[in-house]
């Protein structure tokens, strides 16, 4: 059973920790809060409003010492970009593979994550959206955009009022996948955020719009629109426990691996596509 270190005990991290505490497939051995957090020293059960778990919350500043003590196989990070990179430096040095779920990294920080992973010969999954359904939506959009390549595409994402980054990293990844599907990979100037200019939309432009309101867990809607019809694909997360299912898949994937991976690797879309092509070949 994988021994897991959970880093970041905020809104989402606590829900993931709750899932792990109740799981008979994952063994949660560490729960890490920010240095100086009011959660330090408490039993994780107290934060989850459940029975004692025997797991005492430790601080990000004593990560190295506790990794030596509890020897987790994998760490899961739901913190913030700066803390996440700092945590990875320590985890990689101690040969602990990591699933990074934190979002909002700059391109430079992503490069740093890659460099730390490769230099220390460990494995890292970078998963700006860990939800299986959203990743399937992104994959499907890539395929559709290759077929409906003259349709206008708009992405609308909605999240709770506390979300710090905007638009969501997931919406931008969906836009990247659509560009890829249209063989316009890397043409980021076609992605227009919260359109606020006067003038007509350009061909191939992808509009991305962010709604921030109340307690919405996460909605991603993609519109493919022509003069004659509209195809609309929506994914909605009802609660944060959906994240735990993706985290479990990513943990099981990254154990024993070296290198940098994303959710496409975890969910193995390539094999799904290959078996579709094989099935079609059999039918014909």
Stretch that binds ligand NAP, among 18-26, 75-83, 176-184, 193-201 (CB under 6 A): 75-83
Q: If you search the block for the tokens 């076609």, which residue do you land on?
A: 190
Binding map of ligand NAP across residues 156-195, x = CB under 6 A, - = no contact: ----------------------------------------
- Alpha helix (H) ranges present in 71-214? 81-93, 107-119, 132-147, 169-181
Catalytic status, residue 159 = yes
| Cβ count within 10 A of residue 196 | 6
Taking the C-alpha atoms of residue 50 and residue 28, their distance in angstroms, rounded to an integer, is 15
163 flagged as catalytic = yes
Q: Which residue is nearest to ligand NAP (CB)?
A: 10
Say how far residue 106 (Cα) sits from the centre of its chain.
Answer: 15
Q: Identify the residue among 28, 29, 53, 60 touching ligand NAP (CB under 6 A).
A: 60
Determine, following the binding rule CB under 6 A, whether residue 79 of this chain makes contact with ligand NAP: yes
Residue 84: is it exposed, middle or buried by C-beta count within 10 angstroms (0-12/13-18/19+)? buried
Q: What are the structure tokens assigned to 77, written together?
A: 């990070």
Residue 130 in the binding site for ligand NAP (CB under 6 A): yes
CB of 7 to ligand NAP, least distance (A): 5
Please, which residue, 35 or 146, has the CB nearer to ligand NAP?
Answer: 35
Q: Does 32 help bind ligand NAP (rule: CB under 6 A)?
A: yes
Task: Answer whether 85's CB lies under 8 Å from 109's CB.
Answer: yes
Q: ω before 38 within 30° of 0 (cis)?
A: no
Sign of torsion over alpha carbons 267, 1, 254, 75: positive
Question: What is the smallest separation between the CB atom of 128 and ligand NAP, expressed in angstroms?
Answer: 5
In the complex with ligand NAP, the residue whose CB is nearer, 124 or 182, is 124
CB of 232 closer than 8 Å to CB of 140: no
Closest Cα to residue 81, out of 173, 6, 8?
8
Residue 33: exposure state from Cβ atoms within 10 A (0-12, 13-18, ≥19)? buried
Nearer to ligand NAP, 2 or 240 (CB): 240
**76 forms bridges with which residues in the sheet?**
6, 99
Q: Which of 43, 80, 89, 236 binds ligand NAP (CB under 6 A)?
A: 80
Q: Which of 159, 173, 235, 249 is catalytic?
A: 159
Of 26-34, 91-99, 149-157, 269-277: span binding ligand NAP (CB under 6 A) = 26-34
User: In this chain, which stretch among 18-26, 126-134, 142-150, 183-191 interacts with ligand NAP, using CB under 6 A?
Assistant: 126-134
User: Using CB under 6 A as the criterion, which residues of the chain lie in contact with ligand NAP when the complex forms?
Assistant: 7-13, 32-34, 37, 39, 60, 78-80, 83, 101-104, 127-131, 243
């Amino acid at each position: 059973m994988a021994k897991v270190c959970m880093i970041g005990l905020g809104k989402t991290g606590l829900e993931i920790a709750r899932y792990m505490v109740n799981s008979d497939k994952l063994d949660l051995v560490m729960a890490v809060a920010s240095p100086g957090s009011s959660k330090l020293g408490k039993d994780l059960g107290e934060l989850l409003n459940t029975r004692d778990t025997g797991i005492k919350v430790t601080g990000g500043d004593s990560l190295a010492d506790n990794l030596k003590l509890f020897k987790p196989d994998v760490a899961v990070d739901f913190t913030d970009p700066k803390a996440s990179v700092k945590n990875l430096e320590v985890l990689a040095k101690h040969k602990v593979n990591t699933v990074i779920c934190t979002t909002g990294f700059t391109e430079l920080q992503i490069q740093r994550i890659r460099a730390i992973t490769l230099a220390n010969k460990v494995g890292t999954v970078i998963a700006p959206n860990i939800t299986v359904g959203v990743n399937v939506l992104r994959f499907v959009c890539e395929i559709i955009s290759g077929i409906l390549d003259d349709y206008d595409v708009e992405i609308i994402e909605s999240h709770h009022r506390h979300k710090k980054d905007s638009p969501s990293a997931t919406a931008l990844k969906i836009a990247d996948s659509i560009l890829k599907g249209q063989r316009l990979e890397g043409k980021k100037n076609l992605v227009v955020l919260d359109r606020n200019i006067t003038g007509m939309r350009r061909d191939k432009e992808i509009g991305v719009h962010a709604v921030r309101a109340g307690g919405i867990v996460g909605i991603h809607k993609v519109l493919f629109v022509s003069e004659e019809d509209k195809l609309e694909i929506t994914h909605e997360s009802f609660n944060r426990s959906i994240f735990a299912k993706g985290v479990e898949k990513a943990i099981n994937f990254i154990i024993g691996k070296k290198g940098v991976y994303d959710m496409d690797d975890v969910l193995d879309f390539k094999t799904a596509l290959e078996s579709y092509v094989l099935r079609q070949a059999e039918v014909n």
